[in-house]
């Protein structure tokens, strides 16, 4: 089977109804698409583009040196995944192995730290965003089996399902048009700024008992930060628009820490798309949590959406 092919699926397996008081938010990358397939030579296309961009446009140095440094830093992350990740405001806000975008951003930061370049927090964030914005549009991961049927099912004006993504709206809408003739005006909401935190409560009026961070059993080296104000405001705006209760929200995504942890703390129903980089402690902890599910396919995700709370 080639990178862009998918096995036959039954359209009826992706039909579900959302009750009038409920609402569903779906992430896009890594959930509708499979971001991990490698080319025939074993390389990952996004990683290769990121290495070239860092060498040619950021460091203006030999590509082979960057490729070697990239491999070495990536091995460090694999050996100790809790120790490394994407940073914002000096703290880790997403795990470094979760997907190719986070891997490349995390490795780039480690290379810059080694070279003592782009040391300012604002400058560093700008450079990491530049790498992502330059490489992301040139990478087209294949759709997961059933993604076409699911997109067609939710792509209509009266849908109570929305796609909320960190990437730009136009890129995701282009992908939707690959399987749909047009895109409903309100289907895709981008630039969710899921990386942004609000430690001191200056950006949102958090409840007094809502934590800044917490630690999952088995996670020994760091905490998970859950005050993500811009992401919360975007989704709350959708809930108000559709007269839905925050207590009847389902959020699904492939990176628990980035997409789901805040909503889980707020009592939402969450669905995490498991992949080879999902930490074992998270799988164990999920099995003890109410209204938290791990899935390995879009068909499984829809089965959960069909099941009453």
CB 72 within 8 Å of CB 111 = no
Query: CATH 3.40.50.1000 region(s) of the chain?
Result: 11-36+142-306
pTM, 2 dp: 0.93
Average pLDDT, the chain: 93
- The secondary structure of residue 66, as a DSSP letter, is H
Show Cβ contacts of residue 299 under 8 Å, excluding neighbours closer than 6 positions.
Answer: 9, 13, 14, 145, 146
Rounded Cα gap, residues 271 and 250, in angstroms:
8
What's residue 136's pLDDT?
Answer: 93
Q: Which fold has domain 11-36+142-306?
A: Rossmann fold (3.40.50)
What's residue 90's pLDDT? 84
Cβ count near 1 (within 10 Å): 8
Mean pLDDT of successive 10-residue segments in the chain (309 residues)? 53 94 96 94 95 97 97 95 89 94 96 95 92 93 97 96 95 96 95 95 95 93 96 97 93 96 96 91 92 95 92
């Amino acid at each position: 089977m080639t990178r862009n092919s998918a096995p036959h699926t039954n359209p009826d397996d992706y039909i579900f109804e959302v009750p009038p008081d409920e609402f569903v938010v779906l992430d896009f990358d890594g959930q509708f698409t499979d971001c991990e397939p490698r080319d025939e030579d074993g390389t990952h296309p996004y990683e290769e583009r990121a290495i070239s961009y860092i060498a040619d446009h950021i460091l203006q140095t030999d590509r082979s040196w960057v490729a070697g440094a990239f491999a070495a830093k990536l091995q460090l992350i694999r050996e100790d995944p809790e120790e490394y990740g994407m940073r914002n405001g000096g703290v880790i806000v997403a795990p470094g192995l979760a997907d190719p975008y986070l891997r490349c951003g995390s490795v780039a930061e480690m290379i810059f730290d080694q070279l003592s370049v782009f040391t300012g927090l604002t400058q560093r964030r700008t450079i990491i965003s530049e790498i992502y914005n330059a490489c992301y549009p040139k990478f087209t991961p294949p759709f997961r089996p059933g993604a076409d049927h699911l997109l067609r099912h939710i792509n209509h004006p009266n849908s109570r399902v929305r796609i909320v993504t960190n990437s730009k709206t136009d890129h995701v809408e282009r992908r939707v048009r690959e399987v749909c003739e047009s895109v409903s005006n309100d289907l895709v909401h981008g630039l969710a700024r899921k990386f942004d935190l609000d430690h001191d409560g200056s950006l949102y009026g958090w409840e007094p008992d809502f934590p800044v961070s917490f630690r999952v059993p088995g996670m020994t080296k760091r905490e998970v930060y859950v005050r993500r104000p811009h992401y919360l405001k975007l989704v709350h705006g959708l809930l108000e628009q559709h007269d839905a209760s925050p207590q009847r929200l389902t959020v699904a995504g492939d990176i628990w820490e980035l997409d789901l942890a805040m909503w889980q703390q707020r009592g939402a129903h969450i669905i995490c798309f498991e992949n080879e980089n999902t930490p074992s402690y998270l799988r164990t902890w999920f099995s003890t949590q109410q209204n938290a599910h791990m899935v390995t396919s879009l068909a499984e995700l829809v089965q959960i959406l069909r099941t009453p709370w």
